[in-house]
Structure 1
Amino acid sequence: MASDSILLVMDMINDLVHPDGAGGKSYVPLMTARGVYANTIRAIGRARAAGMMVGYVRVGFSPDYREVPDSSPVFTKARDGGIFKLGSWGTEVHADFAPQPGDADIVKHRVSPFYGTALAPLLSARGIRRLVLSGVSTNGVVSAAVREGHDRDFTCVVLEDCCAGATREEHEFALAGLRRFAQVANADSF
């Protein structure tokens, strides 16, 4: 692991990955069955031990959802369901993966962690060239990060055992497509 790398833990927020969160029924069963929680904890520990920067990407919106476009089938459901409100328990990173002082906190209003966020300036300022990616969903934020990261000339590594889709099929299908743009590794080999 090099100092020009960052581990991005993406959308591992209570609304999506906590058993009591709004999305708990979607992601928690597969994450539990595949060991994603323990794997992600291990990956974060390995990154910190190696001196690698750790960053957290969180989807979230103002309480009035002013950033949600009416044309989005994904985010209008969030608005209608009252989830992803910044400042609420739901948009906090799950306690198992808690950020530490100095970790990057990137808030996004779309699927991509690059779109309209401070991620690109942060990576540039820190001399980051390699993105190590984890989170939910594999077919959402992870896929968007790989594709846009690739096009911005970053080396991308997906930690397969630290990601999940709402279904095993979504996860596997996303990984099949991402192998063209990224190395696929795991929590013990990045």
Structure 2
Amino acid sequence: MKKTLFLVMDMMNDLVAEDGFNAQTYGVEVKERGVLDSTKAAIAAARSAGALIGYVRVGFSSDYREAPEASPIFSGARKNGIFQLGTWGTEVHASIAPEPQDFDIVKHRVSPFYATSLEAILRATKVERIVMCGVSTNGVVHSGAREAHDRDYEVVILEDCCAGVTPDEHMHAIACLGRYGQIVASTEFDWAA
């Protein structure tokens, strides 16, 4: 098996929980697409094959000192009081909760690479392939796939473990991502390859 890291990105309560801040947007798509169940099964398959697991979470200090005021995305977090580290909202959804040996990668921007520990983790563990999923498809998944590609990693995106704020947003993002990696259903991916 290629040395693989499975990145589960931004699957936090503020974004994916049925009673989270974005329950009426991302929460609806996550539920309708069965993203949490598919991701739970994919995590189990990855663990069984010996892949490393990393959870990426977006979060800020309580005073939002890391959040850029000019950002259309993160100024909304500040205004609505979401994505605060140390709160229920930035915890990974309980149905796919991390285990002690998993990596916790906190980010302050859209990209899972920018100013995070991800690059050091990848180098230290000699990862060759990054399998990824997350919310949103056109946000963290898109930027993560592009950057992983440009850093010469093999990229695999588990399509059924991703969601956008709308079905169209997800579909258009997936259509673009095929240039940067392999798009597969989680049930079809061979973790042992």
TM bucket by the smaller chain? over 0.9
Q: Is residue 110 from structure 1 mapped to residue 109 from structure 2 by the alignment?
A: yes
* Distance in 1 between residues matched to 2:49 and 2:9, nearest whole Å: 20
**Structure 2 match to 1:131:** 130
* Distance in 1 between residues matched to 2:128 and 2:112, nearest whole Å: 16
* Distance in 2 between residues matched to 1:3 and 1:23, nearest whole Å: 36
Deviation at 1:48, TM superposition (A): 0.5
Matches within 5 A, 1:61-76: 61-76=60-75
**Structure 2 match to 1:162:** 161
Deviation at 1:10, TM superposition (A): 0.3
**Structure 1 match to 2:27:** 28
SS at match of 2:39: helix
Matches within 5 A, 1:4-43: 4-43=3-42
Contact 1:3–1:53 under 8 Å retained in 2: no
* Distance in 2 between residues matched to 1:153 and 1:92, nearest whole Å: 30
Q: Is residue 84 from structure 1 mapped to residue 110 from structure 2 by the alignment?
A: no
Question: Counterpart of 1:151 in structure 2: which amino acid?
Answer: D
Contact 1:55–1:105 under 8 Å retained in 2: yes
Task: Give the number of aligned pairs.
Answer: 189
Aligned CA RMSD, in angstroms, stands at 0.8
Q: Which runs of 5+ in 2 are unaligned?
A: none
Q: Which runs of 5+ in 1 are unaligned?
A: none
Identity of aligned residues (%): 55
* Distance in 1 between residues matched to 2:185 and 2:107, nearest whole Å: 25
SS at match of 1:55: strand
Question: Counterpart of 1:149 in structure 2: which amino acid?
Answer: A
* Distance in 2 between residues matched to 1:147 and 1:58, nearest whole Å: 18
The ranges of structure 1 where at least 4 consecutive aligned residues each deviate by more than 4 angstroms after the TM superposition are none
**Structure 2 match to 1:57:** 56
* Distance in 2 between residues matched to 1:90 and 1:35, nearest whole Å: 20
**Structure 1 match to 2:97:** 98
* Distance in 1 between residues matched to 2:44 and 2:119, nearest whole Å: 24
